[in-house]
Amino acid sequence: MLKTLTAFLALLVSSAVACAQPALVSFDSATKVFRLDGGGSSYVFGVNERGELQQLYWGGRLGATDSIPAAKAMREWASFDSSYTNTPQEYAGWGAGLFMEPALKVTFADGNRDLVLHYQSHAATASGFDVVLKDISRPIFVTLHYAMDPGSGILARWATIENRGTDAVTVEQAAAASWALPAGKYMLNYLTGRWAGEWTLNREEVAGGARVIESRRGSTGHEANPWFALQRFAQQPSEADEEHGEVWFGALAWSGSWRISIAKDQLDAVRVTGGFNPFDFGYVLHPGKTLETPIFYGGYSTHGMGGASRLLHRFELAHILPNPRATTGADGTPLPMAPKPRPVIYNSWEATEFNVNEAGQMALAEKAAALGVDRFVMDDGWFGQRKDDHAGLGDWYVNPEKFPHGLKPLIDKVHALGMDFGLWVEPEMVNPDSDLYRKHPDWVLNFKGRPESEQRNQLVLNLARPDVRAYILGFLDKLVTENDIAFLKWDYNRNWSEPGWDQMPPAEQKAVYVEYTRNLYWILAELRRRHPKLEIESCSGGGGRVDLGILKYTDEVWPSDNTDPFDRLTQQYGFTYAYTPQIMMAWVTDSPHWLNNRTTSLQYRMLSSMEGSLGIGANIARWSPDEMTMAKGLIAAYKQVQATIVQGDLYRLLSPTDGSEFSATETVKADKSQAVLFTFIHSTQEGRGFPLLKLKGLDAKTNYALSSIAGKARTGTPEVASGAWWMNHGLEMDAGFRGDFQAAAFRLDRK
């Protein structure tokens, strides 16, 4: 049947992934239905008879000619449950009869707090739409932005709120987007943690009421991460699994206080709303001004949690991280866009802590270079009066006792050894015992006349202030201009407290929640603009600032200060649900480990770290020749397959969680020419060896040669077999692969 389209847009957006389906966006002016298709998913919304923007469909990709009926508001369920609250609005103002979580809540200058947003107009953009809503009587305009990624089907949504009136309006709550899911039973997955214990995957059935994950800490936080995934199941939750079933997922790109609320309403409909955390929020929008929310990305997979994370990884590599570039496989097949794999680094923190000096760092650099390390990073302790964590933060001059000739001799030595040089900084912080604080005590976040709560003996500089922003950019620019620095480890070692900003009028002080983070992004962007080769790691006492906002300006993250190789397996397992292994730095450190007093072999530690972007963080000055030889060999082996490990399609074959005795991961290169497999034993019991491993994601008809990176397969395992063999028959490990904290790794190469 021919559709009556008075306006039809079909934008073929060039695809990031070879042979991915193009994104298609269309608007049917007869039905007022908007449709966005990308990858394997479709997203549809329309204008209902009241003028509200109503979500109509989000899920697997619909047929190209399918016509979608016009939006029709849901009926009132009872006098208690209005149509306004039952209807899944794309972006509901708090007003009329809304009881669900609003996307936007405001107070007008006259005290009026009723906001009802209706469709006004729209425009097509390169990959989606800008849809303008307006309050039914007052000049508050909201532009909803939609941008569909053709490769992954991940949809970016955010909003710009504009005051076209003559009086200021206070925005009390502003989400990036609300997402509605089809009625059903869902399992919610989300990540929580604490310092040294990040990335715990939690799973719970979505029950009535709201489940809130959030940070009130001024930054992303260790406590929860702004990511969710909802698995649908028919009867029993166990039906939802790693490689099967429908999953809707989302990630919020914001490194300030954030909130995602997952609510099942009185009619069992599930809606997810996320954006700025409304707690203590208040943004005064003066006439003519706008407030732009963070971006909330949402996606859909029919291949379970594994499929969802593979889509996210691809998307992060191609569209979030800096410097993606096109590459091809061995036979010229185009591979998805991605940044270069990370250099293998050495970092001296666990070896020296604050006791850095020229001779000691040079000695470590020599040993690091002998291992095949690409980048030498000096951590905390090199600046100001920084003998421990009581002093020096804020004073970014080179400590003259530790480095009498500045950093140049060390940097020159590192270069002469064939590595580049990286440096630790913590730009947003100040110790009260510092020249900076003595000179500018008013630069810290604080309520005037009230105590300043120290954490790790430090206070947070108020980046919302223009003078603080200028100071931070200024010292970083000088540091990077005067020294040949390839990389900054940008740390952030406490959360906010007492977030006062008394240079602003009282009503406007809460804007600190927006302006601080915007200025942080601005500094990072400006620094990178001035120094295009500079790379940056986002660290916050480990993984306290990992989100799709900071990742637009940083190349990697430090997932945790916990470098115990066994704990890391669980953390890495959780981490990869939301983030690509490309950014997941993992250091090999010393044994017994300082945190758990656990003793593990160097092979186990190396293989645990090789699941991500590899670093060495041990005191290599004490390593024996045998340890040096083993590490050197494994670093060389790692580099050969690194691109597959950190940018391939990840399959979590065996989970290390919940007391599991075994774990395994597999990554497959996008052109299916190579796969890398990691296997770990926690502790075998009752003589039971490693379970049979059925590989995934290979090309059934291609032959693959198996070779060992470390460890052995069962005697008699074919050297070459088809993808079908490895996936159906599976790989058996050597009978001797038993005991405690054992690890093995293999590669499969197309023959």
Which listed range, 42-50, 156-164, 538-546, 694-702, lies at the site for ligand GLA (CB under 6 A)? 538-546
Q: Which residue is nearest to ligand GLA (CB)?
A: 380
615 binds ligand GLA (CB under 6 A): no
- Contact set for ligand GLA, span 320-359 (CB under 6 A): 349
- Contact set for ligand GLA, span 188-207 (CB under 6 A): none
* Between 348 and 679, CB nearer to ligand GLA: 348
Half-sphere exposure of 676 (CA within 13 A, CB side): 24
**Type of residue at 120:** Q
Cβ contacts of residue 332 below 8 Å, gap of 6+? none
* Between 157 and 494, CB nearer to ligand GLA: 494
Contact 566, 297 (CB under 8 A): no
Contact 85, 98 (CB under 8 A): yes
Rounded to the nearest whole angstrom, what is the least distance from the CB of residue 166 to ligand GLA in the complex? Answer: 49
CA 107 to CA 84: how far, in whole Å? 20
Tell me the two tokens of residue 36: 């966005």
Rounded to the nearest whole angstrom, what is the least distance from the CB of residue 544 to ligand GLA in the complex? Answer: 8
* Between 246 and 491, CB nearer to ligand GLA: 491
Rounded to the nearest whole angstrom, what is the least distance from the CB of residue 541 to ligand GLA in the complex? Answer: 4
Q: How many of the other CB atoms lie within 10 Å of CB of 111?
A: 6
550 binds ligand GLA (CB under 6 A): no
Rounded to the nearest whole angstrom, what is the least distance from the CB of residue 492 to ligand GLA in the complex? Answer: 9
Rounded to the nearest whole angstrom, what is the least distance from the CB of residue 241 to ligand GLA in the complex? Answer: 34
* Between 135 and 561, CB nearer to ligand GLA: 561
Annotated catalytic residue within 28, 265, 561, 564 = 561
**Residue among 243, 309, 238, 301 at smallest CA distance from 697:** 243
* Between 539 and 706, CB nearer to ligand GLA: 539
567 binds ligand GLA (CB under 6 A): no
Which of 534, 539, 584, 607 lies at the binding interface for ligand GLA (CB under 6 A)?
539
**Type of residue at 551:** L
Which neighbouring-strand residues pair with 157? Answer: 146, 296
Tell me the two tokens of residue 202: 């939690």
Q: How many of the other CB atoms lie within 10 Å of CB of 526?
A: 15
DSSP state of 316: I
561 binds ligand GLA (CB under 6 A): yes
DSSP state of 74: P
Which of 541, 574, 612, 711 lies at the binding interface for ligand GLA (CB under 6 A)?
541
477 is catalytic: no
535 binds ligand GLA (CB under 6 A): no
* Between 298 and 384, CB nearer to ligand GLA: 384
* Between 265 and 380, CB nearer to ligand GLA: 380
* Between 312 and 546, CB nearer to ligand GLA: 546
**What is the H or E stretch that residue 352 is in?**
helix 349-352
Instruction: Give the Å distances, CA to CA, from 180 to 80, 132, 272, 474.
Output: 21, 20, 6, 45
Contact 85, 103 (CB under 8 A): no
- Contact set for ligand GLA, span 378-417 (CB under 6 A): 379-380
Annotated catalytic residue within 28, 379, 491, 555 = 491
CA 596 to CA 250: how far, in whole Å? 34
Rounded to the nearest whole angstrom, what is the least distance from the CB of residue 546 to ligand GLA in the complex? Answer: 12
Q: How many of the other CB atoms lie within 10 Å of CB of 374?
A: 18
564 is catalytic: no
Which of 95, 256, 432, 542 lies at the binding interface for ligand GLA (CB under 6 A)?
542
Which listed range, 85-93, 163-171, 536-544, 714-722, lies at the site for ligand GLA (CB under 6 A)? 536-544
Q: How many of the other CB atoms lie within 10 Å of CB of 473?
A: 18
Which listed range, 249-257, 335-343, 539-547, 604-612, lies at the site for ligand GLA (CB under 6 A)? 539-547
**Cα of 422 vs its chain's centroid, Å:** 22
Which listed range, 84-92, 230-238, 537-545, 692-700, lies at the site for ligand GLA (CB under 6 A)? 537-545
* Between 145 and 605, CB nearer to ligand GLA: 605
DSSP per residue, 687-744: T--PPPB---S--TTSEEEEEEEES-BPTT--SEEEHHIIIII-B-B-TT--SEEEEE
Which of 55, 170, 352, 493 lies at the binding interface for ligand GLA (CB under 6 A)?
493
Tell me the two tokens of residue 63: 């047929």
**Residue among 212, 202, 229, 191 at smallest CA distance from 277:** 212
Rounded to the nearest whole angstrom, what is the least distance from the CB of residue 386 to ligand GLA in the complex? Answer: 9
| Strand 556-557 to 535-538 pairing | parallel
Tell me the two tokens of residue 387: 């003998």
* Between 420 and 561, CB nearer to ligand GLA: 561
- Contact set for ligand GLA, span 50-109 (CB under 6 A): none
| Strand 200-205 to 270-276 pairing | unpaired
Peptide bond into 322 cis (omega under 30): no
**Type of residue at 291:** L
565 binds ligand GLA (CB under 6 A): no
373 binds ligand GLA (CB under 6 A): no
Which listed range, 34-42, 258-266, 495-503, 535-543, lies at the site for ligand GLA (CB under 6 A)? 535-543
**Binding-site size, ligand GLA (CB under 6 A):** 11
* Between 52 and 426, CB nearer to ligand GLA: 426
Rounded to the nearest whole angstrom, what is the least distance from the CB of residue 347 to ligand GLA in the complex? Answer: 7
Tell me the two tokens of residue 309: 């994370």
φ and ψ at residue 727, rounded to 5 degrees: -85, -35
Which of 27, 179, 346, 558 lies at the binding interface for ligand GLA (CB under 6 A)?
558
Which of 424, 577, 680, 704 lies at the binding interface for ligand GLA (CB under 6 A)?
424
Per CB under 6 A, residues contacting ligand GLA are 349, 379-380, 424, 491, 493, 539, 541-542, 558, 561
List the catalytic residues. 491, 561
